[in-house]
Structure 1
Amino acid sequence: MALVDALGNLFNLVLLPGQAHDLKGVAPLIEDVAFDALLADKAFDADWLLAELDVRGASAVIPPKANRKIKRNYDRHAYKWRHLVENFFAKIKEFRAIATRYEKTACSYTANWHLVATILAAK
């Protein structure tokens, strides 16, 4: 799970087990982080997350899931900027060690993510 800033640079990273749903990594990812809006895809449309964002005063730019009984409105124009997250992952996967996960430990793998993110931000 990665949190990127408005320019598409890595802000925070949380590694999850392969079988875990991405929603489990949101709480530690946004803990103690101040932001005005959270842009995420439909997988992050959860009541607890929407309530948390409401308490923080941040807007949720998350499209509602298809199975929601009451569809929420979201800012479709702002949602178009979510491509910055996808662009970040595309750039990071250009580095072979990240894409194929050569590192044996989570600590080494996380360190490589931060190293590559620093290289990309410096370009």
Structure 2
Amino acid sequence: MLADTFGRPLRFRITPGQASDIASASSLLGGQHGKAVLADKAYDGNDLRSQIAAMGAEAVIPSKRNRKVAIPHDTSIYRHRNQVERCFGRLKHFRRFATRYDRRIIHFTGFVHLAAALIWLR
């Protein structure tokens, strides 16, 4: 999920449960612009960091523990990373989203679009 600074959904991608988070991050960031990209440690990768730098944005991503040279990040900006969690919280107010009643991906995707539109209209 890609969310703006107010916690409203911009883009999302539904992936299988076993897929890593960083695998779909580059496609979500394609064509976007901003001053900073905030993400957690799961998104710490050199390819993603270079894509963020090519956007002209600052990568505010803490380094993984196994990174040989830790890359510093701005902790005051990183505190606002909870906006994407708030976005998921708003989406979970819709029972159909929270329980995932729809088993076909096309139906679930359609409802996520509807729920995102309703969040934007509030």
Same fold (TM over 0.5): yes
SS in 2 for 1:11: strand
Whole-angstrom distance in 2 between the partners of 1:12 and 1:35: 14
Question: What is aligned with 1:74?
Answer: 73
- Counterpart of 2:66, as a letter, is N
Consecutive unaligned residues of structure 2, counting only runs of 5 or more, are none
Question: What is aligned with 1:105?
Answer: 104
Consecutive unaligned residues of structure 1, counting only runs of 5 or more, are none
Instruction: Compute the displacement of 1:32 (Å).
Output: 1.4
Instruction: Compute the displacement of 1:56 (Å).
Output: 2.1
* Displacement over 3 Å in runs of 4+: none
Whole-angstrom distance in 2 between the partners of 1:62 and 1:54: 12
Whole-angstrom distance in 1 between the partners of 2:62 and 2:19: 21
Listed as ranges, the matches of 1:17-96 within 5 Å are 17-96=16-95
Question: What is aligned with 2:120?
Answer: 121
**Which stretch of structure 1 is more off in the superposition, 100-109 or 57-66?**
100-109
Instruction: Compute the displacement of 1:117 (Å).
Output: 1.6
How much is the aligned-residue C-alpha RMSD, in angstroms?
Answer: 1.1
- Counterpart of 1:6, as a letter, is T
Alignment TM-score, normalising by the size of structure 2? 0.93
Instruction: Compute the displacement of 1:104 (Å).
Output: 2.4
Instruction: Compute the displacement of 1:85 (Å).
Output: 0.6
Instruction: Compute the displacement of 1:15 (Å).
Output: 1.0
Whole-angstrom distance in 1 between the partners of 2:86 and 2:109: 19
Give the percent of matched residue pairs that are identical in Structure 1 and Structure 2: 36
- Counterpart of 1:23, as a letter, is I
